[in-house]
Amino acid sequence: MGDNLFSVLFSTIKSRFASIVSKLRLWLSWNYVRTRIIGGIRDFFFRLLDVKPKNKNDYYQIFGWMVSKRLAYAIIIIVGVLSIWYIGATTKIFSKLTSNGGMRTYSYNSILLRLAKDKVRIKARSGYVAYEGDVSKGYVTGEGSLYSPSHVMLYNGSFLKNRYEGEGSQYYSSGALHYTGSFHDNLYEGQGTLYREDGTEEYEGGFFAGMKEGHGKLVDSGNNTIYEGNFAADDIVYSELLGKSADEIRNLYFGKQVLYEENSDLGSDSVIHLTDIGALYLATSDGSAADDSNKATKVVVLKDVFRSGTAAADDIEELKILLGDPIYEGNSQIILPEAIAVNELNKGKRTLNGRVDMDVTEVYSDDIIVNSIDTDYPVYVYSFKRGNLVYSFVCKARGAGFDFYEIEESGDTDDTA
């Protein structure tokens, strides 16, 4: 009897409050809340966009123009909403952060990148992550890494306003280390080390404007020092060999040498080929010297490009721009160092007028006696003077490009370099 009464009571109460419970469940459901919110926003924008003024107080007067207040409010709110939507869509602030400790990722042209600080990732135009590291005021500034589309590191180190600046390391496209040292404005500058792609060291020393400059050393693939001395415009300062004895030159050059000695019937000069740096020098006796030792009086550089500062010349017209008018030009009788230079160049490919006929006796592979040379071999020479040095460029004929050049002192004591 008691159980029946309780059941009747419970049913009565439940039926009494069923509608209230249903309404509460409806009001608390997310779909209902979302519908009401969206409906409220829609009604708000309907009212907002009802910009038709009702009376003169509904206007702003701007520079003589009557502008509806509701229209001005509508424009401001619409611009604000679009801005918030753009920010969210561009930087994903409202969705998620990237992995690795929450580092944000920005497109390269994102407006919010200008406001970002500390470490971020930046995507390139094609969508890959091109940079990871510090930014400041919209610039890549601080420590970071630059990547290729295949995610190979191209640079790691210091940046300043999107440029390499300070200490860093640059890599080949294969990922092998290319250079490590100092940078300025994207170029090697200061002290650094260059590496070949196989990982062996190539050069260690000073740089300026991306080129070898100052004191440095060249290293072969076996990690042996070839040459240690001064560099300028990305090349050895060959003129510093002038006036030095063979012993002094051996303190600069440590590579392979081949000695060419004139037969006693020709004279007493000798030519030393410094094979690992593409140069040779003429050594002659200076009777006025206390030790009467042979000195380098002419240096021959086996290169068809002449560099001066950041400029380079590979023909006579360009040389005239760099060095001025020649002090001499014309056909010339070939001499021993030029004959050796011609034959060395012809080992690789035919240059000038082919090989020079030479009668030699090979005492050893690196000691050769020259008995005679074909002095009728035709060459054309342009000579230029700069400071106390004379540069002579050896060509096949007048107006042709030069194949190598020579350096010697002018003998004028009042000139300065």
- Per cent of the chain over pLDDT 70 is 76
Distance CA 377, CA 229 (A): 35
Do 91 and 113 belong together in one domain?
no
Are 398 and 253 found together in one domain? yes
User: What is the separation, in whole angstroms, between the first and last Cα of the chain?
Assistant: 127
Same domain, 171 and 58: no
The strand pair at 389-395 and 402-409 is best described as: antiparallel
pLDDT band (50, 70, 90) for residue 46: low
Say what the pLDDT of residue 130 is: 96
- Whole-number pLDDT of residue 182: 98
Residue 95: its pLDDT value, please?
41
pLDDT at 97: 44
Read off the pLDDT of each residue in 362-372 and give the average, rounded to a whole number.
Answer: 92
Are 149 and 165 in contact by the 8 Å Cβ rule? The answer is no
Domain boundary among 203, 232, 261: 232
Q: Which of 66, 95, 124 is the last residue of a domain?
A: 95
Q: Look at residue 197 in the predicted model and tell me its pLDDT.
A: 96
Q: Would the pLDDT of 363 be above 80?
A: yes
Q: Identify the residue with better confidence: 96 or 416.
A: 96
Of the candidate ranges 92-96, 111-115, 205-209, 334-338, the one whose mean pLDDT is the lowest: 92-96
Q: At 121, which CATH number?
A: 2.20.110.10
pLDDT digits (tens, 9 = 90+) for 161-192: 999 999 999 999 999 999 999 999 999 999 99
- Among residues 62, 95, 128, the one where a domain terminates is 95
Count of CB atoms situated within 10 Å of the CB of 62? 9
Percent share of the chain, pLDDT over 90: 63
Biggest alpha carbon–alpha carbon distance for the chain: 148
Q: Are residues 113 and 197 in the same domain?
A: yes
Same domain? For 163 and 251 the reply is no
The yes-or-no verdict on residue 83 having pLDDT over 80 is no
Query: Does the structure show a pLDDT above 60 at 210?
Result: yes
Q: Does any domain span residue 151? A: yes
More confident of the two residues 35 and 288: 35
Same domain, 249 and 172: no
Do residues 317 and 262 share a domain? Answer: yes
What is the predicted pLDDT for the residue at 49? Answer: 57
Q: How many CA atoms lie within 13 A of 153 on its CB side?
A: 15
Say whether both 63 and 150 belong to one domain: no
For the record, the structure tokens of 10 come out as 């419970």
In the chain, the number of structural domains is 3
Residue 315 CA to residue 98 CA, distance in Å, equals 56
Same domain, 218 and 277: no
Position 3 in a domain? no
364, containing H or E segment: strand 358-364
Which carries the bigger pLDDT value, residue 74 or residue 415? 74
The Cα–Cα gap between 119 and 138 comes to: 12
Q: What is the pTM of this model?
A: 0.72
In a domain, residue 356? The reply is: yes
In a domain, 21, yes or no: no
pLDDT in tens, 249-305: 999 999 999 999 988 766 678 999 999 999 999 998 765 544 557 899 999 999 999
Write out the residue range of the structural domain in which residue 341 sits.
Answer: 245-409
**Are 174 and 196 found together in one domain?**
yes
- Indicate if 325 and 207 belong to the same structural domain: no
Q: Does residue 394 sit in the same domain as residue 336? A: yes
Amino acid identity of residue 69, one-letter, is: K
Mark out the alpha helices in 271-360 (DSSP H runs). 316-323, 336-345
Cα–Cα distance for residue pair 72/53, rounded to 1 Å: 12
Stretch 318-344: mean pLDDT: 95
- pLDDT, tens digit (0-9, with 9 covering 90-100), for 85-132: 666 555 454 344 444 456 799 998 888 888 888 899 999 999 999 999
Question: 351: helix, coil or strand?
Answer: coil
Indicate the DSSP class of residue 355.
P
Read off the pLDDT band of 17 (50, 70, 90).
Answer: low
Gap between the Cα atoms of 145 and 153, Å rounded:
7
C-alpha span between 239 and 41 (Å, rounded): 83
DSSP 57: G
Task: Compute φ and ψ for 37, nearest 5 degrees.
Answer: -65, -50
| 65 backbone dihedrals φ, ψ, rounded to 5° | -100, 140
Which H or E element spans position 406?
strand 402-409
E strand spans, 23-113: 59-62, 65-68, 105-107
User: Would residue 38 count as lying in a domain?
Assistant: no
Confidence of residue 65 (pLDDT cuts 50, 70, 90): low
CA distances from 236 to 212, 256, 296 (A): 9, 17, 16
Show the 3-state SS of 93-162: CCCCCCCCCCCCEEECCCHHHHCCEEEEEEECCCCCEEEEEEEECCEEEEEEEEECCCCCEEEEEEEECC
> What is the spatial distance between Cα 48 and Cα 357, in angstroms, rounded to a whole number?
99
Q: At a CB cut-off of 8 Å and minimum separation 6, what does 13 contact? A: none
The band of 35, judged by pLDDT with boundaries at 50, 70 and 90, is confident
On average, the pLDDT of the chain sits at 85
Give per-residue burial for 299-322: e unless 16+ CB within 10 Å, then b.
bbbbbbebeeeeeebebbeebeeb
Q: Is 117 contained in some domain?
A: yes
- CA–CA separation, 58 and 65 (whole Å): 13
Q: CB–CB of 394/303 below 8 Å?
A: no
Is 9 part of any domain? no
**40 assigned to some structural domain:** no
